[in-house]
Chains A and B, each alone.
Chain A
Amino acid sequence: GDSVTQMEGPVTLSEEAFLTINCTYTATGYPSLFWYVQYPGEGLQLLLKATKADDKGSNKGFEATYRKETTSFHLEKGSVQVSDSAVYFCAPSIYNQGGKLIFGQGTELSVKP
């Protein structure tokens, strides 16, 4: 079935460190890929997306590239800030099922000053 595997958290980094959160997926068809972020006490916000192979999504210094051959969509940021502390979710959307999103368990990021 459709599924997502994210690297386990929590991930603890110092401010200005480089961030990678790995995400691999299994999905029918040709999904679009999304990263959502959930700040403490808040709802899910779209961080970035990519809709076809080799597309790079980017936002707020975060980037992720749609790698169809490895079914991966790893999230990266060159220099994290304390304000990036949140839970990050990778999610493919299943086109032939109304675009429903399949979420992984999320990766908690904690950035220390």
Chain B
Amino acid sequence: DTGVSQNPRHKITKRGQNVTFRCDPISEHNRLYWYRQTLGQGPEFLTYFQNEAQLEKSRLLSDRFSAERPKGSFSTLEIQRTEQGDSAMYLCASSTIGRAQETQYFGPGTRLLVL
């Protein structure tokens, strides 16, 4: 069990550029979540996948954001035409499906700075 990994750990980009982040969940976990955390705040839910299906998206996820999990393993989160307000920590978490609510295990996050 190597834990949830995210790449890159840091990304600096200029406004208007596109960025893509990758998340590799714990191998046997079939649920994968994306959250966004701004400075001094708690994480906010963006979207989640069960296997390869994207089952819910937050209103926070504007049309510039897209997420995929093509084979039910790793996931990517792309932000098009970045804005300064997109600067945040993007967190990925994974879990299994069970009768009781399963624990979500978080990756270290990708810190995005839009200049």
Contacts and interface: CB of A to CB of B under 8 A. Distances in A.
Interface of A: 4, 31-32, 34, 36, 42-46, 49, 51, 89, 91, 93, 95, 97-106
Given A44-B43, A104-B42, A99 B91 contact: no
Given A43-B107, A43-B108, A44-B106, A101 B100 contact: no
Contacts, number: 64
B103 A46 contact: yes
Nearest to A32: B101
Interface residues of B, number: 26
Contacts of B105: 46
B41 A106 contact: yes
Contacts of A101: 33, 35, 43, 45, 93, 104
Q: With a 10 A CB-CB cut-off, give which of A32, A100, A105 has the most chain B CB atoms.
A: A100
10 contacts: A43-B106, A49-B103, A51-B100, A89-B43, A91-B42, A93-B101, A98-B31, A98-B33, A98-B50, A106-B42
B35 to A, nearest CB: 8
Nearest to A99: B101
A98 B108 contact: no
Contacts of B44: 103
